[in-house]
């Protein structure tokens, strides 16, 4: 499992509730800053339609045609202003977040917590400020890494004619940044690559901001939307980035009730059915209140957030490897046992390498499990493809 999504945000915005709801891990949730000190890591899932629905019988690896593909979710310590300078638990936060391929920024859409996560009256704080603040902290974190040896590095690059992309990527490798992202950021900022010593601090910050956007793509989880003032919701919806209305508390209530078999509920559904006859009047009323909420919101937004981060922000698809293209089984006769997340645009040869480097090196051709047609190494894969790889590797 190589995919990691980070949960970021200030303290008390609902990150730990989101994390617990998405993973059902045992974490502490409290109404005060820095409940989360060490990063919580758990497994959550993206939800997709399983290819076996095209067959007469279920594969046994899905839930009534719903396939869940595991990814790692990391809930890092809450962020406060000047975290990039080490304030609060900033260094811990940023060190943990570098592992993430994408970030879900959990904000308190209700405006019921100030910039440092302290409780205030609903609507007293503008959640738009939280978005700007996290972006600033991430950019300044990257800037602090670049700036550390900038004078010496810039002179060395110019004097020796070195590759600026390679040097900067090497500098930023610990922040999870690669060379293509550095190159794209340089192109976006239109900075003079031949006169690095003339770059101003503003130039470097501009470059670092572009690196942040490219290396840490973000989706906004507008948490507590159900109690947010209408103007907060309107302002968030007007943002030029992906915003998903969420209620982590409602999702946690549903997942907990489903775990105890009181209800039947699948993450991402916009309704549930009561299974237990032993619920008391208060429990039934509580569940009906949650039902009203999720039907109004078309779900709790938690699964939508995770799916959008993986499929929309990171642009990934799911591909299923098999050894028998007719029965869609592996060598042990299991139907569709595995599911791989691949970058959209990946080809059959890329998929062979994803399964195993030896299989990639010995790649001969692939077979489409749905059409039974032979596929060449450059054949572009689609979401939901079932593929057999034929290789000289055993």
Q: How far is CA 368 from the centre of its chain?
A: 29
**Of residues 67 and 16, which shows the higher confidence score?**
67
When the pLDDT of each residue in the chain is averaged and rounded to a whole number, the result is 90
Residue 110 pLDDT class (50, 70, 90 cuts): very high
Arithmetic mean of pLDDT, 227-252: 95
Sign of CA dihedral 54, 60, 64, 66: negative
- Residue 22 scores a pLDDT above 90: yes
306's enclosing H/E stretch is helix 302-307
The pLDDT-based confidence of 176 (bands split at 50, 70, 90) is confident
The per-residue pLDDT for range 365-384, each reduced to its tens digit, is: 999 999 999 999 999 999 99
Q: How far apart are CA 17 and CA 249, in angstroms?
A: 6
Q: What percent of the chain has pLDDT over 70?
A: 91
* Predicted pLDDT at 99: 82
Q: pTM, whole model, 2 decimals?
A: 0.89
Whether 4-39+76-138+217-309 shares its CATH topology with 317-391 is answered no
| pLDDT (mean) for 301-309 | 98
Q: Where are the alpha helices (DSSP H) in 161-298?
A: 164-172, 179-189, 201-215, 230-237, 248-259, 281-297
57 confidence band (pLDDT: 50, 70, 90): confident
Burial class from Cβ neighbours inside 10 Å (0-12, 13-18, 19+) for residue 26 reads exposed
pLDDT for the residue 358: 96
Mean pLDDT of 305-334: 96
pLDDT over 90 at 80, yes or no: no
Write the pLDDT tens digit of every residue in 131-171. Answer: 998 899 889 889 988 998 898 888 888 888 889 999 999 99
Instruction: Report the CATH architecture of 317-391.
Output: Roll (3.10)
pLDDT of residue 85: 59
pLDDT of residue 33: 40
Q: What is the pLDDT of residues 194-234, one digit of tens each?
A: 888 889 999 999 999 999 999 999 999 999 999 999 999 99
CATH number given to 4-39+76-138+217-309: 3.40.50.300
What tokens appear for 265 in the block? Answer: 């509920």
Cα four-point dihedral sign 276, 277, 282, 288: positive
Instruction: Please give the pLDDT value at position 78.
Output: 65
pLDDT at position 351 is: 98
Question: What are 267-303's pLDDT values in tens digits?
Answer: 999 999 999 989 999 999 999 999 999 999 999 999 9
When pLDDT is cut at 50, 70 and 90, the band that residue 32 belongs to is very low
Domain residues of the chain, as ranges? 4-39+76-138+217-309, 317-391
């Amino acid at each position: 499992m190589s995919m990691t999504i980070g949960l970021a945000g200030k303290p008390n915005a609902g990150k730990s509730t989101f994390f617990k709801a998405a993973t059902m891990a045992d974490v502490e949730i409290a109404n005060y800053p820095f409940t989360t000190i060490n990063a919580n890591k758990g497994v959550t899932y993206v939800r997709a339609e399983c290819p076996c629905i095209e067959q007469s019988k279920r594969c046994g690896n899905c839930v009534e045609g719903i396939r869940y593909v595991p990814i790692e979710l990391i809930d890092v310590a809450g962020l406060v202003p000047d975290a990039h300078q080490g304030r609060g638990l900033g260094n811990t936060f940023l060190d943990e977040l570098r592992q993430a391929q994408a970030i879900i920024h959990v904000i308190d859409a209700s405006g019921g917590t100030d910039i440092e996560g302290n409780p205030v009256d609903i609507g007293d704080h503008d959640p738009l400020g939280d978005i700007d603040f996290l972006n600033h902290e991430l950019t300044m974190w990257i800037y602090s890494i670049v700036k550390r040896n900038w004078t010496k590095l810039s002179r060395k690059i110019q004097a020796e004619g070195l590759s600026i992309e390679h040097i900067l990527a090497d500098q930023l490798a610990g922040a999870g940044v690669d060379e293509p992202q550095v190159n794209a950021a340089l192109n976006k900022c239109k900075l003079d690559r031949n006169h690095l010593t003339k770059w101003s601090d503003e130039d470097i910050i501009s470059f670092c901001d572009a690196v942040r956007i490219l290396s840490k793509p973000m989706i906004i989880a507008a948490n507590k939307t159900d109690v947010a003032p209408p103007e907060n919701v309107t302002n968030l919806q007007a943002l030029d980035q992906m915003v998903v209305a969420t209620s982590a508390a409602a999702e946690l209530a549903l997942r907990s009730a489903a775990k105890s078999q009181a209800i039947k509920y699948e993450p991402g559904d916009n309704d549930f059915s009561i299974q237990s006859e032993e619920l008391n009047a208060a429990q039934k009323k509580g569940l009906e209140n949650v039902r009203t909420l999720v039907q109004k919101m078309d779900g709790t937004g938690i699964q939508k957030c995770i799916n959008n981060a993986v499929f929309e922000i990171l642009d990934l698809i799911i591909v299923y490897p098999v050894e028998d293209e007719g029965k869609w089984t592996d060598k042990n006769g299991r139907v569709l046992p595995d599911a791989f997340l691949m970058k959209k645009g990946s080809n059959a040869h890329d998929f062979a390498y994803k399964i195993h480097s030896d299989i990639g090196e010995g790649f001969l051709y692939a077979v489409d499990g749905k059409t039974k047609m032979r596929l060449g190494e450059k054949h572009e894969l689609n979401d939901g493809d079932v593929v057999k790889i034929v290789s000289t590797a055993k």
